[in-house]
Structure formats: structure tokens, C-alpha cells
Amino acid sequence: MLFLAYLIIPNIKAKNVLLIVASLLFYAYGEPVYVFLMLVSSVMNYALGRVIGSQQERLSGDKVSASQKKPRAALIVALVANLTFLAVFKYAGMLVGTVDSLFGLSLTIPVIALPIGISFYTFQAMSYVVDVYRGGTKTSKNYLKVLLYICFFPQLIAGPIIKYHDVEQQLDTRSITTQGIAFGLRRFTVGLGKKVLIANTMAVVADSVYGAPLSEVNIAVAWIGALAYLMQIYFDFSGYSDMALGLALVFGFKYKENFNYPYQSTTIKEFWRRWHISLSTWFKEYLYIPLGGNRKGRARTSLNKLIVFFCTGLWHGANWTFVIWGGLNGLLQIFEDITGLRKRKILRRLRLDVALTFAAICFMWIFFRANSLSDSFYIVNHLFSGWDINRQQAFHLLNSMGLSLFEVLICFGLLAFLWLMDLIAGDESLYARMERFPFVIRFSFYFILIASIFSLGVFYNAGQFIYFQF
């Protein structure tokens, strides 16, 4: 119904209003109260953007220094207000709990329901205000355009994080073609397949391992859980991104890619150029470069990276496990810079650079997924210990955790398939390569995929994507 109404409406402004109403209803379905928080955020950032833009226009003709022309007060208000939203609704419990545990104050830990997607739409809104301040984006005088930019439902709750200047023209004019609709639906279908065929299958395995008593975790179980979650989070998040980009394209919006085969990276630095590209770009442009980037010597560069990845970890969740995960990513990048590992030819020739990076990523995901720091250290320790187990004990252990040998083989088979697909695709998008296949092959692939979704799809937590919690 929504799409038919969208096609019938001839005026672009009316189309935008329809998408805004649909997006607000979509968000209100899951967050009936916090939809007002998002509206407050959009109004605030729009208003402060107007203030910054008007001050810059008023001062543009005056003979004052460049620094005096910058309306910093409005920018500071915007940054403080947006970060306060995050501090209250996302980090209040973590902050109070940390202070309480450090000083034994017996404080009451506040329990505040986390608004879905608050980290995504807050960062998106902040980027708009900062870009207006920097002059990279013109101030929008139309609130509805800013609201649609922030709340458009395909990318509202789990990204990708879009910059206003990337979609500014599309908010005023965009075309809907049969080719775009068809490609968007095909991409949406692939994303859905990633979620229900692979991510949810791996979730059954990973949740069984990470939810099991620690006494039942040995080296085999630890590796199964680590590899299963490595698969789950990639196919879960990249699947959502495919669905978001595909659905946006159906409505005429073209967004930048958010993933580029991250598990074939040769370094951790390259991994972050391929994984969650919109977030890593955001931190690079709005935190790393303003801190000085790599322009102030090696020591300062290392400090800047640690700060960025501390914030990256914290952005993902109000738990010290995420902070440790972010810190490890930063430390490994610094280690790569100091040792020059990515320049070693022997590693590249044997593809050991990919294997080592892959292993490091798998290791760090344990901290990301574990329920607590103590759990994560226990599982990491048992990646390299607990060899005293025979085949009968292994089968008993897997069965007690709700796992079968078939599910374990699927885990490793999909892992091998993923690596093979990455190597075959190279730097070219797999979707672009598929579009060159003959129609019969493409039609057969999508027919089998759709049939598999309905017949084999695992609708385990089907309504939940991992990044919904961030």
C-alpha cells in the first residue's frame, strides 16, 4: 500500500511527507514513547543548524577574522545536547554502576529502556550540524527535509549513517525506475537470506555457547562459539545493510556501501575501511582528524587512535566489554604501525596477512559478544587450553548445549564458503558481478534463494538484528 501510494503521488514534497509519516509509524510501532525523543532531537538539530547558518550569513560580509565568523556557541550546544541524550538514555546505568562498584556507595542503578537506533540517528543529526558549521553543507530551511533525512525508515534503526550532503539533492529530486526497483528488491532479498538462512542459524550456535555454564566450555566449544558469532554478526549486520540499501533504492534513494568484504582484510586498519564503513568514516571525519589525525607525530597519532576506538567501543554499548573490544582494535592498529607488519612481503605472498587478521578479528569478537569481562577472559583462555576431551565427551557436551554435529559442520562450511566468495569477488561488488550473469542464472538463483528463505529460514529472533541494540 505504501509503495503504491508513493508511486501515485506526483509531487516530490508530498512523497516526502508520506515517507515521513510511514517512518514515524514504523518507529512508533516499536518505540511508541521514544518517537517523541527522536522528534525533539530532529527539531533541536534543525533549529541549531538554522542558527549556525544564519550567523554565518550575517557575518560573511563583516570584516572579522575567520575564527570570529564561526558560531561556536550554537555548535557546542548541539554537541552537548546530543551527547547528553546518549549519556542519559544509553550510558546512565553504566556510569552509575561503575562509580558504585569503584567506591562502594550502594547507589541505585537507573534502569532506562534504550531507545532503538538512538546512536545511529543521533550521530546522523550531529553530522548535519557539524557540516553546516564547517560549511560543507548548506543550512536547510525546510524542517521536513531534515526530518526525513534523520528518520527515513530503511536506515533509521541500524544505519548506515548517512551524511546530509550525500542525500540533499535526492530529497528534492529523485527518479524511480523499474531497473532500480528490481535491483533494490533483489538486494533486499539477498539481505533477508543472509539474516534468516545464515545469521540466525549461527545465532542458535553462538547463543548456546555464550549462554552455557562456563564449566562446560573447553577448547572445542570455545572455538565453535567464536567462529559462529564471527559469522553471525557479519551476516546479520551486512544483511540488514543490504535490506536497507535495497529498500531505499526502491524509493529512489541511493546510499553508499557499508561493507566491502571485511574478512579478507590484510590488516586491522584495512578491516575498518571495509567494516561498517559509515561509522568508521564518521569517527575519522568528526573525531580522529579534529584530534590531529596523524599530523602530530607517532605518539600523538597512537593516542588519537586509542581515543577513537575507545569511543567506537563505547558507541556500540554501555558495557566495558565493548570498551575493551574497541581498545583492542586500537592497540592492534598501533602494533601494526610500529612493527610494519602490513609491509612484510612474505606475509602477503602466503596470504598469512589475511589469516592473521582474520584470527585477530575472531579473537576480538569474543569480548564484543561475551556477557561480561570475566566470561570473555574465560573463553579466550579456553581457546588455547582444555584439550583433555574425547569424542564421546565432545558429542555429549554439544548435545547438552542444544547443538548437533550437523550445525557445527554448517558453521565451518559457511566459514569456508564466505572466505571463498571473498576471494572470488576481489574488490568488485558481488552484486555487480551477479548483474552480468545471464537472466536465466540470475532468476534461478533468486528463485532458489526465496524458496530457501521460506523452507529453510531460521526465524530465531527474526525481528531482532544485533545492531538494533546500539
Per-residue pLDDT tens over the stretch 367-385: 999 999 999 999 998 888 7
- Write the CB contacts of 300 (distance below 8 Å, at least 6 apart in sequence): 292
Q: Is 104 helix (H, G, I), strand (E, B) or coil?
A: coil
Query: C-alpha cell of 413?
Result: 562450511
Please return the burial class of 420, using the count of CB atoms within 10 Å of its CB with bins 0-12, 13-18 and 19+.
exposed
Same domain flag for 206 and 261:
yes
Mean pLDDT of 269-292: 95
Pick from 184-198, 226-240, 393-407: least confident: 393-407
- State which H helix or E strand residue 385 sits in: none
As a whole number, the mean pLDDT across the chain is: 85
Same domain flag for 184 and 326:
yes
316 is catalytic: yes
Query: C-alpha cell of 419?
Result: 572466505
Q: How many domains does the chain have?
A: 2
Same domain flag for 290 and 192:
yes
Q: What is the largest CA-CA distance in the chain?
A: 83
Same domain flag for 208 and 351:
yes
Residue 404 placed within a domain: yes
Catalytic site residue from 165, 276, 316, 382:
316
Residue 167 placed within a domain: no
Please state the pTM of the whole predicted model. Answer: 0.88
Tell me the chain's radius of gyration from C-alpha atoms.
24
**pLDDT of the residue at 386:** 65
% of the chain residues with pLDDT over 70: 84
Mean pLDDT of 386-413: 64
73: left (phi over 0), alpha (psi -120 to 50) or beta: alpha
pLDDT reading at 64 higher than 60: no
Residue 67 placed within a domain: yes
Residue 287 placed within a domain: yes
Same domain flag for 306 and 382:
yes
- Domain span at residue 110 reads 2-151
pLDDT reading at 462 higher than 50: no
